[in-house]
Amino acid sequence: MKELAEEVRMKFAKKGISDIFEILSEVAFLIRKPLDIEELSGFITYFDNSFIVYLNSNFTLGHERYTAAHELYHIIYNEDILKKEKVFLDKEMHKEEEVKADVFAAEFLMPEDYVKEVFYKLVNLDKNKLLPKHVVRMHNYFKVSYKAMLKRLIQLNLCSLDKYFQLVEICSLENKDKLQSLTKQEGYPIDLIIPSRKTYIPKEYIIYVKSNYENGKISYENMRESLEFVGLDPIEFGYEKI
């Protein structure tokens, strides 16, 4: 998986693209919006030769970026499944691919060699001596969530497994104020550890929905649902109610 992640990262680096949201926008319509579904951080649909990725911006920005890398794996390596099933929601049915997607996301956003290099620059401590502030420095550098960074440090043997429960406590919902305070003390903004609640709908998606309706590929009802899901009204585009 390390090699696969490196291959994909280099492919987009050659185009001058490194941000995960920009990368995802290259291969799919990326829609970010707050969804009132706590257990769903993102999903993919496939229609008319296009992938549409929905990210739930009610999750923290760090979590959202990880989900983006997770969905990128599915688009690149589960293309056949997506084209057949049209939507990738049943995690139990595709448990093995879900695990692979998580491993890919970690490798893609936090490559082993680079994590070690940055760790020795910013932390450089014995794996049994890490404190929450050291994880804060690392996760802000790699623009991922605190918890994802902590897990990666343990995977790479840069943090002792025995320290996990002590270090993970601060990123619980009950301790969010403590983590925000520590983040500020370390000189970082708190953007990564709070929900962005951002709504982003690319113009290309709107054109895509409209053209599919006007070309008879989807019904008025499907067009209406596709627009209303992202907070738009068909009437705004001159489509009368049917």
104/38 same-domain check: yes
Residue 140 lies inside a defined structural domain of this protein? yes
- Residue 37: pLDDT band with limits 50, 70, 90: confident
97/135 same-domain check: no
Residue entry with tokens 């020795």: 120
Q: By C-alpha distance, which of 163, 156, 145 is closest to 116?
A: 156
Q: Are strands 42-47 and 50-56 parallel, antiparallel or unpaired?
A: antiparallel
Q: Which of 61-70, 100-109, 224-233 has the lowest mean pLDDT?
A: 224-233
What's the full length of the chain, in residues?
A: 242
CATH number at residue 18: 1.10.10
Q: Is the dihedral of CA 83, 56, 207, 227 positive or negative?
A: positive
78/138 same-domain check: no
Domain of 178, in residue numbers: 112-190
Query: Do the Cβ atoms of 59 and 67 come closer than 8 Å?
Result: yes
Residue 42 sits at φ, ψ, to 5 deg, of: 175, 160
8/105 same-domain check: yes
Of 60, 86, 109, which residue is a domain's last?
Answer: 109
Structural domains counted in the chain: 2
105/7 same-domain check: yes
Residue 96 lies inside a defined structural domain of this protein? yes
Residue 212 lies inside a defined structural domain of this protein? no
Coil, strand or helix at 55:
strand
56/131 same-domain check: no
104/121 same-domain check: no
- Residue 88: pLDDT band with limits 50, 70, 90: low
94/105 same-domain check: yes
- Sheet with 42-47, strands from edge to edge, namely 29-33, 50-56, 42-47
Of 76, 109, 142, which residue is a domain's last?
Answer: 109
Tens-digit pLDDT profile for residues 135-178: 999 999 999 999 999 999 999 999 999 999 999 999 999 999 99
Average pLDDT over residues 84-106: 80
Residue 106 sits at φ, ψ, to 5 deg, of: -65, -45
Distance in angstroms (rounded) separating the CA atoms of residues 19 and 82: 24
98/179 same-domain check: no
